[in-house]
Chains A and B, each alone.
Chain A
Amino acid sequence: MSTTVAPDDKRDVRRAERAAASDRSKAENALGLKLVAPAIVLMLIVTAFPMLRALYLSLFDYSLTAPDDRNFRGLGNYVTALSDPLFWQTTANTVLIMVVTVAVELVVGFAFAMVMHRVIFARGIVRTSILIPYGIITVVSGFAWQFAFSYKNGFVNYWLPFIEDNFDWFGQYSSAMAAIMVSEIWKTTPFMSLLLLAGLAQVSEDMIEAAQVDGATWWQRLWKVILPNMRSAIMVAVLFRALDAYRIFDNIFVMTAGAEGTESISFLTYRQVIEQFQLGLGSALSVLLFLSVLLVAFLIVKVFRVDLAAARQES
């Protein structure tokens, strides 16, 4: 550069310095990009591209049963979807499942975490056991609970004293939903409890003992010391599990196949696309599903003020 840099213009000076960034940092930049490129490409191929395609297809009346008969409908598919009570009912189901399962898992998972934190015997066995529900195939969990609730071959009716032996859990909406939620909660509580256990491990023992010396009861220590200090762990666990629960599909597919009005939004979308080959309407539902997941994520982050950066210790 032939022009002199005005000494009072700090920004220019800095820009010049950046331009003269060392070969080392340039090489580092290039290497970094090279190393992450495969991951980025793969993640985009399977998400961004299909999502854009769904956006496009959702504007057409397009069915695989009549592929040549493809008409532009504009936002027609969205109108159809949003004005169908089925869409709202499945969304309501999904939200209900999400709220109930996450709430129950949070309480049970926290109790488990407290026990595991102080476990005095069989530490290895407890840890192995808790991982079994986590690792088990959801479909298997669904089957196990479906058969367990079955009045014909199951055991639940015989174990629960206030339930008649021939009660059909899958015969009506409320009990069928309960059965689905039991399977979901059983499988995912361990995951929740492990996340909470990690959070619990970060609360310093000294602090709890200090509170004890200061005269706090067990209940006060829990609410005033332990929980506030593992806030970020709790919030991350809630966020992850809530979004996971919102996508519930496997258990419903296996346990009720959507009977008795137990469909979830994922299940409805799947049925439109894969079973009825309605790619146009199905794509509209896909887009709506995606948007609703974003909305749920946004609401959780806003309402609970989840600080993902803090939780991930990123600066």
Chain B
Amino acid sequence: MTGKNKALIVVGTILILLWCLTPVAWIISLSFKSQQAITNGSPGFFPADGDGAGWQNYVDVINDEQFRRAIFNSIGISLIATLLSVIIATLAAYAIARLEFKGKKLVLTLALVIAMFPVVSLVGPLFDMWRAIGIYDTWLGLIIPYMSFTLPLAIWTLSAFFREIPWEMEQAAQVDGATSWQAFRKVIVPLAAPGVFTAAILTFFFAWNDFVFGISLTSTERARPIPAALSFFVGADPFNRPASLLAAGAVVATIPIIVIVLLFQRKIVAGLTSGAVKG
């Protein structure tokens, strides 16, 4: 690599970091502006002198009953949907990667179609149906669509992982005296664990990020997840949003994502690229 190329790459790397982190820094900075300053207008990236609020916005957000409830809803709903989706996807992906059966193409096609489905076109009928069977504005009412819409990604990611496990492993286990179940449990599951884990992270991201179902299929704080709650969080004056308070809420809602990214960035990248490109 020549010196000129090196310099280009260093510059490029810095640009990527700026691109990714500036808005994050901005929302954090905004969350430290006082609400008084926001109402009066407080332009600029950093809080001006005397406009700082310290941790006040965070204290206010955490003390807000609705916000706490929304965080609780989001964590609960996302975790349950993730767990169930990954279990179901593991079974399906194993079958797709390993077994010959009729209808395999159908499952793959269905998954592909659903991955491209315009979710908004479903909220009307689902709204209607969920009210009819009584799961409108409940956790279950959100868990079901989250599972359905995360299944395609989970199935792709997992079947890519399963396919990378050499066939010989299972056959060797069988020859060594294992039953199908033993071969699955002692050889395949340990080997696929990283894949299952990656699929779980990506599924969790989806559920955590969802907005359309969150605002359409809930009406109260009973089941309203955090993105929907943030969007309804207008404060006293609808024309004058409490931006800094919202920013604090947004930062809190982003913390779980950042923690997951920090811990598992390698796995997430592997999962994203294997699921979407190689699949």
- Chain A residues within CB distance 8 Å of chain B: 25, 28-33, 35-36, 38-40, 42-47, 49-51, 53-54, 57, 108, 111-112, 114-116, 118-122, 124-141, 143-145, 147-148, 150-155, 157-159, 165, 186, 189-191, 194-195, 197-199, 233, 236-237, 240, 243, 246-247, 249-250, 253-254, 266-267, 269-270, 272-274, 279, 282-283, 285-287, 289-290, 293, 297, 308, 311-314
Picked from A33, A186, A282, A297, the residue with its CB within 8 Å of the CB of B23 is A186
Once the chains are docked, how many angstroms separate the CA of A314 from the CA of B104?
Answer: 12
Which A residues are CB-close (under 8 A) to B227? 137-140, 250
Instruction: State the main secondary structure of chain A at its contact with B.
Output: helix
The answer on a CB contact under 8 Å between B262 and A279 is: no
Closest 6 CB pairs of A and B: A32-B101, A115-B12, A198-B273, A50-B125, A286-B121, A46-B148
Which A residues are CB-close (under 8 A) to B254? 136-137, 140
Given contacts A29-B101, A38-B91, A128-B262, contact A266 B122 (CB under 8 A): no
The answer on a CB contact under 8 Å between B27 and A131 is: no
The answer on a CB contact under 8 Å between B92 and A28 is: no
Chain A residue, CB-CB nearest to B119: A247
Which B residues are CB-close (under 8 A) to A189? 19
Which B residues are CB-close (under 8 A) to A274? 123-124, 127, 215-216
The answer on a CB contact under 8 Å between B43 and A157 is: yes
In the complex, identify which listed stretch (B59-67, B165-173, B187-195, B243-251) lies at the interface while the others stay far away.
B243-251
Chain B interface residue count, Cβ-Cβ cutoff 8 angstroms: 102
Of residues 238 through 279 on chain B, the ones whose CB sits less than 8 Å from some CB of chain A are 243, 246-247, 250, 253-254, 257-258, 260-262, 265-266, 268-269, 272-274, 276-279
Once the chains are docked, how many angstroms separate the CA of A143 from the CA of B13?
Answer: 26
Which A residues are CB-close (under 8 A) to B144? 42, 45-46
- Interface: B134 (CB within 8 A): no
